[in-house]
A and B are shown apart, each in its own frame.
Chain A
Amino acid sequence: MAGSSVNPGKRHGIIALNRRRQWYGFLFVLPAFLFIFAFMLYPVVYSLYMSLHQYNYVFDPSPVFAGFDNYVKALKDPTFRRALENTIVFSFFYFVLVMAVSLVIALMLFHVRRFQSFFRTAIFMPIVVPVSLSALVFLWILQENYGLLNYLLRDVLGWTALARPWLNEGPTAMASIIGVSLWATIGFETILFLGGMQALSREMLEAAVVDGADGIRRIFYVILPNLKETYVITGIWAILHGLKVFVEPNVMTNGGPGNATLVVYQEVYYNAFNRFEMGYASAEAYILAILALAFSLLNMYVNRAKD
């Protein structure tokens, strides 16, 4: 078989070889593509179809076409609107905080020389811990009577007034979930920022020092204005992460108290797998996806407009 590439009619041989390479390329890609097609590409389309139908998996024999009814119903439903509102509140605070804190930590890690590996190991470690397990640990840390946080506030620092049942009140429950999400992902965003800084050219950084821009000045005049691409990447990632939040509220509060921490993702999950309203849940998921797309495009646009 290998001998066929050594062909007396050279031109013909190259064409044959080329065709065979194309054919092989297809075969190399095919198994992976089948997986992605079956579990992602096909579901995206199927989910769109589903979202335009009324379909309760337990009661309805088959999906019935309903046009945009599910979308209209969702956008009018107070529970879904509350979930949407909570998701946007979560995303906003998460986005601002994760971007600011990660950027500051990355700048510091970029600057300091000693204890680098210790700092990095400690700050990056939460990335690899399964989020649902971190959520369980924080559930205990935030526990009113036996939790670590109230112990530190009450018994170590003496700020008794600050100790409270964190997850039993709406605002502090939301703040707790944002906090856990930050704990779990700041390391990830810090790595992205650090990568952006390390990609800056050495000459540029050294020239800045020669010009007298050292320390703080170098940060504001040289490093920060040149991280544009990194802002887009970290920004999109943070927005998507915020809109997709699910594990922390699902494990820690299950949307409560009341609906104070109910997010869209949980609404989708609840309607799909507790009520089996597959059509309605799909419409809710699509609203979330459209939101994610819109915000990512906005982020890209804003960062491009700065040029």
Chain B
Amino acid sequence: MKSKWIDGFMYTVLGFASLFFITPLLYVVLTSFKTENEIFRVPQSLLPDALYTGNYEAIFKASNSFLRYFANSTIITVTGVFIVLVLSALAGYGFARLPFRGSGVMLAAILMTITIPLAVFLVPIYLMEDAWGILNTNLGLILPNVAVVLPFAIFIMRANYIGIPKELEEAALIDGCGIFRTWWNIMLPLVKNGSVIVIIHAFYNIWGEYTLAKSLATKPDAMPLTVGLTLFKGEVWAFGMLSSVIVLSMLPPIIIFLIFQKQLIEGISQGAVKG
């Protein structure tokens, strides 16, 4: 009897919590289909009067820099995720199975960086990149983003390699398989799960990264959308157009979330770290 009452209470609270978390996202989607007049109407209506697509069409006008931001984000993220995957698949194996003198210290140093606020790195990275002439370039954002995501990725991959029974590897080595080929042919296919976790986390960390981009890409042409879109909030609130570009920018991470929710959760509980 009593527990039924408690259950009802819990479902109600969780229902309201779900509403709280989902409403802002739904709201921006609904707003993106409203005309300027509807958006500035008082009192407003939650649903658009009709499915107005003008806000999406506005994206393709020449004066709109959204496509530029979107392209930058895509290049930075895809390249960054790829480099993170390759380097962490290599380093994770090295740390898990091929210990060398000093590898323990190296691993500790790498994992320690996770707890340091990014603010400490910003000035040196800026000065370095200015000296190398890669400020305001995609490369200039790819490199530090990779470095920031790598410690977590290495941690995940290392744990995955450690979980593989040693006999498999020894058998391969006795058969005369070289170390590199053992890794490539035998070990790599066995850490698929870890790779998916690494890809997802690297993806949404780099796609959503703001601080590095804000500091290292000050020219609009070089900005990814996390920083570029904030320029749209000007004196004049064109929130119709802004909401359509926000929707398109949120879509890739949300789609990936809906497909890979399990791996995302696994990654968070395994690593307990987020850039």
Write the residues of chain A forming the contact surface with B, with a CB cutoff of 8 angstroms: 1-3, 5-6, 20-29, 31-33, 35-36, 38-44, 46-47, 50, 57, 104-105, 108-109, 111-112, 114-115, 118-134, 136-141, 143, 145-146, 148, 151, 154-155, 183, 186-188, 191-192, 194-195, 214-216, 233, 236-237, 240, 243-244, 246-247, 250-251, 264-265, 268-269, 272-273, 278, 281-282, 284-286, 288-289, 292-293, 296
Contacts and interface: CB of A to CB of B under 8 A. Distances in A.
30 contacts: A6-B176, A21-B98, A29-B103, A32-B150, A36-B150, A40-B121, A41-B113, A42-B124, A43-B125, A112-B7, A114-B11, A120-B261, A125-B257, A127-B264, A128-B204, A130-B207, A131-B210, A137-B24, A137-B27, A137-B246, A148-B44, A154-B43, A183-B21, A192-B272, A195-B268, A237-B273, A240-B115, A244-B117, A247-B211, A281-B122
Given A36-B150, A39-B143, A183 B117 contact: no
B249 interface: yes
A243 B88 CA distance: 28
Nearest to A48: B120
Contact of B121 (A24, A26, A47, A120): A47
A214 B3 contact: yes
Contacts of B98: 21-22, 24-25, 28
Interface stretch (B49-57, B59-67, B177-185, B189-197): B177-185
Contacts of A132: 208, 210, 226-227, 229-230
Given A35-B87, A44-B120, A112-B14, A155 B265 contact: no
Nearest to B19: A122
B147 A50 contact: no
A141 B27 contact: yes
B116 interface: yes
B239 A140 contact: yes
Given A6-B176, A285-B117, A128 B230 contact: no
Given A22-B100, A112-B7, A195 B215 contact: no
B14 A130 contact: no
A136 B258 contact: no
A103 to B, nearest CB: 13
B91 interface: yes
B144 interface: yes
Contact of A278 (B127, B208, B239): B127
Nearest to A126: B21
A42 to B, nearest CB: 7
A215 to B, nearest CB: 5
Contacts of A250: 210, 214
Given A268-B119, A273-B126, A285-B122, 11 more contacts: A39-B148, A40-B113, A47-B124, A128-B204, A128-B208, A129-B208, A130-B253, A133-B250, A195-B269, A288-B119, A292-B117
Contacts of B243: 137, 140
A155 B19 CA distance: 19
B76 to A, nearest CB: 13
Contact of A20 (B27, B174, B179, B181): B179
A128 B226 contact: no
B2 interface: yes
A180 to B, nearest CB: 9
Contact of A123 (B18, B25, B143, B225): B18
A109 to B, nearest CB: 7
B272 to A, nearest CB: 5
Residue from A22, A29, A134, A141 with most neighbouring chain B CB atoms (10 Å): A29
Residue from B2, B103, B218, B258 with most neighbouring chain A CB atoms (10 Å): B103
B82 interface: no
A143 B117 CA distance: 31
A138 to B, nearest CB: 7
Interface in B151-182: 151, 154, 173-174, 176-181
A238 to B, nearest CB: 11
B58 interface: no
B265 A124 contact: yes
A192 B271 CA distance: 10
Contacts of A240: 115, 117
A105 B204 CA distance: 24
Nearest to B40: A146
Contact of A35 (B14, B147, B177): B147
A124 B204 CA distance: 14
Nearest to B272: A233
B95 interface: yes
A236 B114 CA distance: 12
A41 B233 CA distance: 36
Given A108-B13, A111-B10, A146-B40, A32 B103 contact: no
Contact of A25 (B3, B94, B128): B94
Interface in B122-136: 122-128
Contacts of A243: 117
Contact of A129 (B20, B253, B269): B253
A136 B90 contact: no
